Structure 1
Amino acid sequence: MEHNRPERKENILCISNYKWGGMTGLSSSLMREMARYHKVLYFEPPMPYMPIGQNFRWHNLTSWRQGIEMINDNLMICKTPPVLPGKRILRSVNRQAQRKLAGYIIDVMNSLHFEKPILITFCPHSADLLKYLGYELALYFCGDEVLGGKYKRKRTILGIEEELLKKVDCTVVVSKELYKRKKDSCRELFIITNGTDHNHFCVAGKEVDPPLEMDSIKKPIAGFLGAVDHRINIEFIRKASEELKDWSFVLVGPVYKNRNQLLKLNNVYLLGQKNYEQLPRFLSQFDVCTIPYILDDMTINCFPIKLYEYFSSGKPVVASNLPALEEHAGLVYIANCADDFPREILRAYDESNDKRKKRIMIAERNSWEHKAEGLEYILQYLRSKQPLNSGPPDANLKRN
């Protein structure tokens, strides 16, 4: 689907909290769509000087020297120089890191003659960055609640984000819960939920060749696409594994936490991170899709990006009781506790085809193309400061 061509071509400077490529992300998916009609300069988040974690590679500290990666004529990707560690963020350290980052961004922009951009940041600590950069408009796209994030000094990062909310022309959040939390601090506030690359994931609802890794995994399969990290409720998976011994539980994505506990479960399979292009083939083998999240400050305020990816396939979804899923009651099977999880999987497995068609229709309306239309609407509104004659795309943009 082609979305409406905007009135003017913009330079968009994106400060992302997500690396380009790999698993799907809000910033990369949305900027890929915006690059249809605008010129996008996408800066990946910097690596810390003192990284911790099993997936770290030392060459990442110097990869920023490789220069600009041209995806196409309108989309350029830049890695950024390493900075001091951010998990235990101090305001003084953040000021120093953001000043260094700003100098690098300005050098790149000057080399490309990238002038008068619209700045879109996905990083809550960007308040100390804005004063160094020239821009026409500034937007903060908030995809997660910082209180539930990786930061150890919650009060500090919350204060930095509060300052950012007041500085930018507009804030966009992905859920109603985030709207409630941010509404008193923003000049303008909109909701654009996460979307799906519908044309990519819809093939998972059809007959496709299974990946070799799944040839020997017996059916039925309850599956999960995404990172296995602090959000995963290990008790949900353990309970389902023990009660549904004839089922296989397949987790496709990088494993950051609970690897040893999961490997002890005989019918749980950790397949690791896969190329984005392969994901529909793995999804096609799921009989039931799952979102087994714990409930904390992050997940209560999130809108799972995988929901509409699952919906694109039409397959049934079993999830924790996340507030963002309330609007899809009847199409998502909700597990309120570990005991509910295996029961809801069985209910989902026996559902009618009518629900599958409804999920696909909802996914089509929530493609990244539609989300980009919502962002275009916001940019037009900010420029005109007047309500526009044509409203935002249906079910993709909300403003209270």
Structure 2
Amino acid sequence: MADLIVFGEDWGGLPSSTQHLISHLMKKHRVIWVNSIGMRSPRPSLRDFKRLFLKALAMFKGSSKTKRHASEQVSPVIINPKVLPFYGSSLIRRFNKRLLLKDINKAIEQQGFEDIVLWVSLPTAVDMVGSLNEQVSIYYCGDDFDALDGVDHAMIKPLEQTLSEKVDLILVVSKTLARKFNNPNTIIFPHGVDYPLFSTPASRPDDLPTNGPIAGFYGSISAWVDTELLVQSAIALPSWQFVFIGDVKTDVSSLQVLPNVHFLGSKPHDQLPSYVQHWNVAMLPFRHNRQIEACNPLKLREYLASGTPVASTPFPAVREYDNIVAIQSPKESFSRVILRADKQREEKAVRQETVSKESWQHRAVQLEALIDHLSGKKNTHH
């Protein structure tokens, strides 16, 4: 049975696709999880200094040693990497690699890891491929890092290129991402959904408005959310209440002044079903840009699993569901898309049935088969 070493974001934050998948694999496999090693060098900003401080604290407290989370569920061994966040320098990268290998090899020895599968979600971990005596290496590409906000593109692009050439398998979440790589072992592996969580009826939260139908959105309220389109929609539908859940990372002042717009702040992931299930329409109001062209948002399947009608701007990943999602057509106002979606409320069972076979559990079974196949191939070559 393979043991996994995973380079991902910080464990325990908002669950990413990597965390969903690895959480299921942990039922059968032991896991060492290396917390995020960043995607850009820090800038002289308060936010970056705060993040650096917290990272340094994690490194040099007891948590720099591997530890298990004190929860009843199976948890990975967590490593807080001791690295300098300057990946443009080959000298610093060599220094980082030596420090990281020391911590990881210590954990491998303590846990008695043997048949290692290396899972990399971040291109900054490229130097670890081939350094851990792993049987199989996988690059899981969930985003177009060339177009992602908050990423040092000039630094990441060559690292990702090298990574794509070194690994045994690349898993991408969309066709657009698949076109980026020349590695013949590139497989489209779409996101899953926590179907039991989102489809199980949940009670209505107290902070939802009660005066009229609700069009809602949850997730990071960032530059890729089309605020102008939302302002037009909220003005065109004065009897509707527009609800936003998540951290605000872009200018939303034009929305905040409208009486039927409500920002409820961020909520824990397991509370999201109680919100989305009580909206009349769930929105995917994205701008047309390169990042959205390549994305395959987790919330699309979560919305569908909740049974709530969905109104969306057009992008490749949503077109796969064009029979059950109201997708904006050229020159159509988004307010009209919301009203079209609202008319689909009777088709709740169809929406849920469509994604019921796309659960993370189902994806993890597929992933398990892929890992077994790759490990078997590697063993026959030795």
TM over 0.5: yes
Q: Which amino acid aligns with 1:212?
A: D
Partner in structure 2 of residue 90 of structure 1: 88
Q: Which of 360, 370, 382 is matched with 1:378 structurally? A: 370
1:156 CA displacement: 3.5
Partner in structure 1 of residue 244 of structure 2: 251
| SS, match of residue 190 in structure 1 | strand
1:239 CA displacement: 1.3
Partner in structure 2 of residue 44 of structure 1: 35
Task: Tell whether 2:75 aligns with 1:78.
Answer: no
Matches within 5 A, 1:226-241: 226-241=219-234
Matches within 5 A, 1:275-314: 275-314=268-307
Matches within 5 A, 1:1-400: 9-16=1-8, 18-46=9-37, 50=42, 52=45, 56=50, 58-64=53-59, 65=61, 66=63, 67=65, 68-70=67-69, 71=71, 74-81=74-81, 83-85=83-85, 90-92=88-90, 93-150=92-149, 153-182=152-181, 184=182, 186-203=183-200, 206=201, 208-214=202-208, 216-336=209-329, 340-354=333-347, 356-385=348-377
Q: Which amino acid aligns with 1:211?
A: P
Does the CA-based 8 Å contact 2:37-2:125 persist in structure 1? no
- Structure 1 CA distance, aligned partners of 2:55 and 2:376? 42
Structure 1 unpaired stretches of 5+: 1-8, 387-400
Q: Which amino acid aligns with 1:169?
A: D
1:306 CA displacement: 0.6
Change (3 A) 1:248 1:108: same
Does the CA-based 8 Å contact 2:243-2:263 persist in structure 1? yes
- Structure 1 CA distance, aligned partners of 2:345 and 2:36? 44
Q: Which amino acid aligns with 1:90?
A: G
Does the CA-based 8 Å contact 1:15-1:122 persist in structure 2? yes
Does the CA-based 8 Å contact 1:40-1:74 persist in structure 2? no
Q: Which amino acid aligns with 2:148?
A: G
| SS, match of residue 36 in structure 1 | coil
- Structure 1 CA distance, aligned partners of 2:331 and 2:248? 21
- Structure 2 CA distance, aligned partners of 1:347 and 1:62? 51
Change (3 A) 1:152 1:276: closer
1:27 CA displacement: 0.8
- Structure 2 CA distance, aligned partners of 1:128 and 1:334? 42
1:53 CA displacement: 6.0
- Structure 1 CA distance, aligned partners of 2:77 and 2:246? 23
| SS, match of residue 207 in structure 2 | helix
Q: Comparing 236-245 with 68-77, which one deviates more in the overlay?
A: 68-77
Does the CA-based 8 Å contact 1:99-1:128 persist in structure 2? no
Change (3 A) 1:199 1:73: closer
Q: Comparing 284-293 with 73-82, which one deviates more in the overlay?
A: 73-82
Task: Report Cα offsets for 1:122-156 as digits up to 9, x if no partner.
Answer: 11222222243221110000001111124665343
Percent identity, aligned pairs only, is 26
- Structure 2 CA distance, aligned partners of 1:13 and 1:134? 11
Does the CA-based 8 Å contact 2:32-2:79 persist in structure 1? no
Structure 2 unpaired stretches of 5+: none
Task: Report Cα offsets for 1:304-355 as digits up to 9, x if no partner.
Answer: 111111111111111121111121112111125685211100111112523x
Change (3 A) 1:250 1:21: farther
- Structure 1 CA distance, aligned partners of 2:327 and 2:95? 45
Task: Report Cα offsets for 1:175-231 as digits up to 9, x if no partner.
Answer: 11111222x2x141111111111000102xx4x4222222x4533111112111122
Runs (4+) of structure 1 moved beyond 6 Å?
A: none
1:100 CA displacement: 3.4
- Count the aligned residue pairs: 368
1:383 CA displacement: 2.7
- Structure 2 CA distance, aligned partners of 1:280 and 1:212? 14
- Structure 2 CA distance, aligned partners of 1:130 and 1:242? 52
